Chains A and B, each alone.
Chain A
Amino acid sequence: MRVAVIGAGVIGLSSALCIQEQFHGLVPSLELELYADHFTPHTTSDGAAGLWQPYLSDLGNLQETLWNKETFDHLLGHLHSPAALEMGLFLLSGYNLFTEPVPDPSWKNIVLGFRNLTPKELELFPGYSYGWFNTALMLEGRSYLPWLTNRLTQRGVKFFHKKVESFQELFSQGVDVVINCTGMRSGELQPDPELQPGWGQIIKVLAPWLKHFIITHNVKSGIYKSPYVIPGSEFTVLGGIYQHGNWSEENSAQDHKTIWESCCHLLPALQKAKIVSEWSGLRPSRPRVRLEWESIRHGNVQGEVIHNYGHGGFGITIHWGCAMAAARLFGSILQERGKVASSPLPRL
């Protein structure tokens, strides 16, 4: 059975790993291939700071909250393992700031030590009158993606540096199941008007004295449109740009100015920080994540597609829960096809 994953961002690599880990023993003929035109460090995932934090509201989407929790718990379990550093995984505490009181987020009991900010803490952030403190996790793409890639390579997954033009292209080559993790460009494989770019830009600086993430919120403007500062293991990411519908592929001087001025206003010490690089990318935004199984028939060619895209600005936050769900869908496909003969399916 040939399975092709399209996409080598955090979603593609983790989906491939979940499927490989769970089914390699059960499906003797399982051949896993991964196709992408961009690999780390050139994927959207590589641009993300890597902070585990969902959006403020889950909009009643309990499924996504559960996937977020599954991801957090999975990562927390790895925190003390020898692989943690290689994965780019570590704890990070910090602040979420608001100009008015807001309801607690869906993830308050998922992170560690969630609490409201005290008046004295708010003195640090003039202009903000309400906020949260909690300890969350960082999972840096530039370490995590290579780590996932190594695990996959060790397990015999084959990588192809190639842009896939259609699902049919793979089916006609004998692929049975495609896992579609193409993020922003999923629309090129199958039009999806709900998938829209959430353009963002970040500035990477050297500010090693910063030990907390600081994320401000402008509830009226929307997510990521207010300055944020996220210290990584080497660099600190400054951001605060979200433009829905903007397909631009270039850094914007105007946005650089917005980010720099608003972050320096938030943290005056940043004025002394050395700028290292700039990056912009497209968050694959969708009202909800598309994670479902679709049978596709085109003439004589038929195949199964598991879609796993549309993770917006919370791909890293939700990735493992989605990868496990994709693996469960794969198990359903196997069940339907009678591919797993004697042994019972793993608990899905």
Chain B
Amino acid sequence: MAAPKVAVVGAGVIGLSTALCIVETCPSCSVTVLSDQFSPNTTSDVAAGMLIPHTYPGIPIHVQKQWFKETFTYLFAISNSAEASEAGIHLVSGWQVFKSTPKEELPFWSDAVLGFRPMSEAELQKFPQYQFGQAFTTLKCDCPPYLLWLEKRLKATGVQMYNRKVSDLWELHSDYDIVVNCTGIGAHQLVGDKKLFPVRGQVLKVYAPWVKNFIRDGDGLTYIYPGIHRVTLGGTREKESWSLSPDPVTTKDIFDRCCSLEPSLREAQDIKVKVGLRPSRQCVRLQREVLSQGGVKLPVVHNYGHGAGGFSVHRGTAKEAAHLLGECIAALQGSSSGAKL
């Protein structure tokens, strides 16, 4: 197959990073990105983009660790380069605090981030309601900058991007040889995945430039993540809620919880409220499938269902998706040259 035509559906962090990996590993591929939303209107744009992994119950830990390490290494190199500010990647240090000592004192990713260690007594004094804590340095991917940077790199390699709603993967079979499905929560409708469910997250993005460290409650519900221009205050985890409308009672609750962790936030300015639906699943759906309809075949690579951990593993899953794409191409080439019996 001369130049496989690949359609990547979805332009959030997963779609764009997967498209980039495909371009890197398969230079002969002609890649097009199709999405009904682009930055700043994707789910990724709502997220803070912190590299703190979410644990997927259905995936072996060593795989999750590998994905995280690959992502961290990739972003670490960008953060250290002249492109860091344009790409929106920066280091940030801070604390994860627990009201009671967690069962697992060392998360699986503790050696993948920088300088991970338990907090000292003196540090814990800043958090009177908390008994235990961990200090470390990690990376943050600010959106829109990171997504815009990915878009720019894709366009530089000739990738076309179209604003288009794909309602059925079969719409694409005449123009494309392979489809890569990075539709996040959209997969619920697009491929009818009932194992995929939204976990609604509301956040506040505030102007508080004196906040330079992150603070996160170990329960994952309350967090303060300083970005380039704004600090993300969170959050909520509402399973099965599809509502994209900000809720004012929730806004006040998030603000109060964050102010009790960091009192100076009372002076935060220009509070913007955002909502995103985490595309959650027991495990990320990272597999290839061949759809079949009336004798026509359409190879599909699925890469969705990253839930709360999209940024943390995006590069790792993108590389695996690109690898699966390679397998699809090989399979197509195998069948076009005549099946071996």
Report A's interface with B, CB cutoff 8 A. 79-80, 82, 84-85, 90-93, 112-113, 115, 117-118, 120-121, 123-124, 133, 135, 138, 207-212, 231, 233-234, 268-269, 271-273
Contacts and interface: CB of A to CB of B under 8 A. Distances in A.
B104 interface: no
B115 interface: yes
Interface stretch (B82-90, B291-299, B327-335): B82-90
B3 interface: no
Nearest to B266: A82
B264 to A, nearest CB: 5
B122 to A, nearest CB: 6
A267 B209 CA distance: 20
Interface stretch (B8-16, B210-218, B305-313): B210-218
Nearest to A208: B228
Contacts of B226: 211
Contacts of B81: 268-269
B166 interface: no
Interface residues of B, number: 38
Contact of A85 (B85, B117, B120, B210): B210
Given A118-B114, A268-B80, A272-B86, 18 more contacts: A80-B264, A90-B264, A91-B213, A92-B213, A93-B212, A113-B119, A113-B120, A121-B137, A123-B80, A208-B228, A209-B84, A211-B213, A211-B226, A212-B93, A212-B212, A231-B212, A233-B209, A234-B209
Contacts of B267: 85
Contacts of A124: 80, 91
Contacts of B86: 272
B238 interface: no
A118 B117 CA distance: 11
B114 A209 contact: no
A272 B115 contact: no
Tell me the interface secondary structure of chain A in the complex: mixed
Tell me the interface secondary structure of chain B in the complex: mixed
Given A135-B123, A211-B212, A212-B91, A80 B84 contact: no
B80 A112 contact: no
B23 interface: no
Nearest to B214: A211
A113 to B, nearest CB: 5
Interface in B85-111: 85-86, 88, 90-94
Contact of B264 (A84, A113, A208): A84
A121 B115 contact: yes
Nearest to A268: B82
B62 interface: no
Nearest to B86: A272
A206 B193 CA distance: 46
Nearest to B93: A93
Contacts of A84: 263-264
Contacts of A271: 82
